[in-house]
Amino acid sequence: MKIFLDFEPCIECKSMMTELCDPKMLFADEKTRADGSAKFLRHLTYNHTEVVQAVISELPKQKKKEEFDFFK
C-alpha cells in the first residue's frame, strides 16, 4: 500500500531523507536499511502529528466484532 502525504518536512526530516537516498544506504544490507527506515518512521510518528492523522484517516476501519448477549 502506498500513501502520499502532503506535509512540511523539518530539518531533521530532510537530513534523514538525504541519508536514506544515499547510494551507500541503497546498497547496504537489509538490516541497515530497515534500521534507517525505522528511525525515520519513529521521527515522523513522534514529531509530526499531521502525518499520523493522515495515515490513520487512510487506513481501512476495523469493524467491531459482534457481541453476543451472554457476554454482556
Mind listing the pLDDT tens digit of every residue in the chain (72 residues)?
A: 566 777 889 999 999 999 999 999 989 999 999 999 999 989 988 998 888 888 888 777 766 666 666 655
Can you give the pLDDT at residue 23?
92
What DSSP line would sit under 7-47, residue for residue? ----HHHHHHHHHHHSHHHHTS-HHHHHHHHHHHHHHHHHH
The Cα–Cα gap between 58 and 71 comes to 32
Grouping H, G, I as helix, E, B as strand and the rest as coil, residue 40 is helix
All three cell numbers of 21? 537516498
pTM of the model: 0.68
Whole-angstrom Cα Rg for the chain: 18
All three cell numbers of 54? 493522515
Position 21, amino acid: C
